[in-house]
């Protein structure tokens, strides 16, 4: 049986690392740069990078509306770092472009500058122990509605899920050798 076709938004950021992790899980990853690229996706990852830039490029290429429609129809989406910021309904102290799909409020660059990046062990509901890499990472300040907390680090919310099709992580699992979070998302698809 062929693997699930998972698109990785390839506007900017760590999309190649997600593509490699998905391949190692047996999925069929492909890069999404245009609206037609998204048509065959059984799921979509919005990678880390610069959230304002990715948001502007999604809007420029008409992907923001299409992604929003597909997610509302049930297509799974997972945002890592900047991707989670773009999924949030609220971003502290920012009016930047976003999809506004998840019942969360995020704080950008909450763990400091790039030189303050770190890797640590995490405990995730439904997954267990894993590693997470934090690079200029956000965290979730608030959840409401259907959003639920899957993991925290030092009292801050770093992983959330809403319904059966939306996932957000403040950290970068694609920058570790572990595949458990990618497999969790593939199972959602």
Catalytic residue numbers read 81, 172, 174
Q: DSSP for 127-148, please give it.
A: TEEEEEEESS--EEEEE-TTEE
Q: Cα(188)–Cα(165) distance, rounded to whole angstroms? A: 6
Helices of type H across the chain: 15-24, 35-38, 51-60, 63-72, 82-87, 180-188
As to burial, measured by CB atoms within 10 angstroms (0-12 exposed, 13-18 middle, 19+ buried), residue 54 is buried
Backbone angles phi, psi at 177, to 5 degrees: -85, -10
Of 164, 157, 122, 166, the residue nearest 137 (C-alpha): 157
Residue with tokens 């400091």: 112
Identify the three-state secondary structure at position 93: coil
């Amino acid at each position: 049986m062929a693997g699930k076709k998972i698109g990785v938004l390839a506007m900017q950021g760590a999309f190649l690392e997600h593509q490699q992790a998905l391949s190692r899980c047996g999925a069929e990853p492909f890069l999404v740069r245009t609206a037609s690229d998204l048509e065959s996706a059984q799921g979509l990852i919005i990678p880390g990078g610069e959230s304002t830039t990715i948001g502007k490029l999604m809007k420029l290429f008409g992907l923001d509306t299409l992604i929003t429609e597909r997610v509302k129809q049930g297509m799974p989406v997972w945002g890592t770092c900047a991707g989670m910021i773009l999924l949030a309904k609220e971003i502290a102290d920012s009016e930047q472009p976003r999809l506004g799909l998840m019942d969360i409020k995020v704080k950008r660059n909450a763990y400091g500058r790039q030189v303050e990046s770190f890797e640590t062990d995490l405990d995730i509901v439904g997954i267990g122990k894993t590693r997470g890499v934090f690079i200029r990472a956000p965290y979730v300040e608030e959840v409401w509605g259907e959003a639920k907390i899957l993991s925290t680090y030092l009292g801050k919310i770093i992983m959330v899920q809403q319904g059966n099709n939306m996932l957000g992580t403040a950290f970068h699992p694609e920058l570790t050798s572990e595949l458990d979070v990618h497999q969790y998302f593939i199972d959602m698809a």
